[in-house]
Structure 1
Amino acid sequence: MIDEARRRVYLGAMQVVSWLPRVALPFAAPSRPGLLVPVEVPTQARAANEAETSAPLEVAPTLVATDVDAAAVEVAPLRPKIEVPRPSARGQNRPEPAAEEAEAPVAEPAVAAPPRFALQLLRAGSCLLLVELPTGYPFQSRDPAYLLLRDLLRAAGLPDSPQQVGDGEPIRWPLLNRGALDQGPDSARDYVQAVLQREREGAACLWLIGLPAIRFGGERDEDVYCREFAVEEVGPAWALPGLELLMDEPQRKAELWQAMRRLMPRWKDA
């Protein structure tokens, strides 16, 4: 059984305007006793009705409420009907004229977030090295990444103590922490390549070590690991995996060594 509040909700959903219970409902407000008493139909009127009725149909007795107060009849508010637009002949709803005339908002172009990297520019013999700094700070003499770099230079037949170029400060990006200056990927690439063009004199080959160095110094991606390609206005370049990646995945050293043997004549004969 349900309570009075829920019963009213159900009756309102069925659009029952007024109703009268036949028996006392549980959890409902008490009814007046006079509402449940059937009204006796006069004998003459009953006889006239039976004479006019030809079909042997049994008519259920009708309960007529007498002395019904207006306040005793509960009227549930009718729910407004919601008009559902019907599809057109082609199966599509026609848009409103106002919707057709409304102009679509113009989306503003998304601003690319500035990349973050730190690169060190070094020189070893006739090679220029652009190396990703794993820690973001210049190499120390006992850093594992720096020791691996020295091993690579010795294997390539180059001096194993590379010299810093310029003032020795790493190339850091973004340049500014605040301000309206464009520091997106395109600006970072232009800046790194400008530094390489300034320092490329006397370099037989450019080593791009690490994905940021390859991406912003050579405009390539990781699919060119251990390959040689030309960088416009800089010269021939060789892409190497990052030093941290070589330490984490030693199996890459075999492919790196094979590529190094093919390219050695470039800087040895310079």
Structure 2
Amino acid sequence: MLIESRRRAYLNAMQVVHWLPRAELPFAAPSRLELLQPVAPLDEPALEPQVQVPAAQVAVPSAPAARTGERPKIEIPRPGTTPKLAGKPVEEAEKAPAPARPAPVPPPRFALQLLRAGNCLLLVELATGEPFQSRDPSYLLLKDMLRAAGLPDSPQIIGEPVRWPLLVRGNLDQGPQAATDFVQGFIQARLEESPCVCLWLVGLPAVRFAGEADAESYYRELPVEGLGTAWALPGLELLMDEPQRKADVWQAMRRLMARWKPSDE
């Protein structure tokens, strides 16, 4: 049993102002009679008939309404922060597409042999990739061309064939430009040892990577920086497959022969 002072202390702690006991409490102060009077019922308004609304037309709120008097919180994006939506970080909707990387260019594949005949250097394509043999049809054709040009028909082979790519594996750049730089540097080193009056470029790889030209330059003179004057010719295999090209070679040779045979003018 609680005495009145302690009972009121508990009620005050619970912030209870008005209360009525369900039974008579011992040691309690006398009740106030006005609090025991029944409360008159309030006049209730007449209820209107309820109209049933289809469930499809009932709007269901997607989110609870904001409390009365509570202002919505608006976040202002600051530099260096990630914008947020509904309290969750939002990733960039549209990211700038990464720049497309150019497809790696496979290294060109060729084999070239450098030879000297008189005061001319010859950079000749090795169609099979193997060095010349004395009885190879392509080598016999080269000897015939040199003989027709008035040059020694037994050219001197200079060094090992230049084969590209240099490495089978590795991260070394072996693209077309690297091949051009290597071939031109190789010829320049030989020219420093012994200059020449004309450089023959025989075959498309020789024309492309030493003369920086293409098949449209066949039978023409090419001024090449660092190498002097070069003469572009079809490959020996192509001349054997298409004999009609030999006439074009002969006509161009007659115009250029004065370069290495000035006494025969």
* 1:141 matched to 2:164: no
The Cα offsets for residues 196-217 of structure 1, whole Å up to 9 and x where unpaired, read as 1111232000000000000001
Corresponding position of 1:152: 145
| 1:172 partnered with 2:192 | no
Q: How does 1:125-140 map to 2 (within 5 A)?
A: 125-140=118-133
The aligned counterpart of 1:183 is: 174
Q: Counterparts in 2 of 1:1-270, with a 5 A limit?
A: 101-165=94-158, 168-200=159-191, 201-269=194-262
Q: TM-score, normalised by structure 1?
A: 0.61
Q: Distance in 2 between matches of 1:107 and 1:125?
A: 52
- Distance (Å, rounded) in 2 between the aligned partners of 1:202 and 1:189: 20
Partner amino acid, structure 1, of 2:181: D
Cα deviation for residue 188 of structure 1 reads 0.2
Q: Which runs of 5+ in 1 are unaligned?
A: 1-97
Q: Amino acid of the residue matched to residue 134 of structure 1? A: A
Per the TM alignment, residue 99 of structure 1 is displaced from its structure 2 partner at its CA by: 9.1
**Percent identity between the aligned chains?**
68
Q: SS of the residue aligned with 1:103?
A: coil
Aligned residue type for 1:260: M
What's the secondary structure of 2:160's corresponding residue? Answer: coil
Q: TM-score, normalised to structure 2's length? A: 0.63
Report the 3-state secondary structure (helix = DSSP H, G, I; strand = E; otherwise coil) of the residue aligned with 2:122. Answer: strand
Letter in 2 for 1:173: W
Counterpart CA distance in 2 for 1:186 and 1:101 is: 38
Task: State how far apart, in whole Å, the 1-side matches of 2:218 and 2:208 are.
Answer: 11
Can you give the 5+ residue segments of structure 2 that lack an aligned partner in the other structure? 1-90
Match of 2:14 in 1: none
Per the TM alignment, residue 269 of structure 1 is displaced from its structure 2 partner at its CA by 2.6
- d(CA) in 2 for partners of 1:99 and 1:225? 57
Cα deviation, residue 195, structure 1 = 0.7
Runs of 4+ deviating beyond 2 Å: 98-102
Aligned to 1:169, the other structure's residue is in SS state: strand
Structure with higher Rg: it is 2
Q: C-alpha distance in 2, partners of 1:268/1:232?
A: 24
- Determine the C-alpha separation between the residues in 1 that align with 2:239 and 2:110: 18
Give the Å deviation of 1:100.
7.2
Report the equivalent of 2:10: none
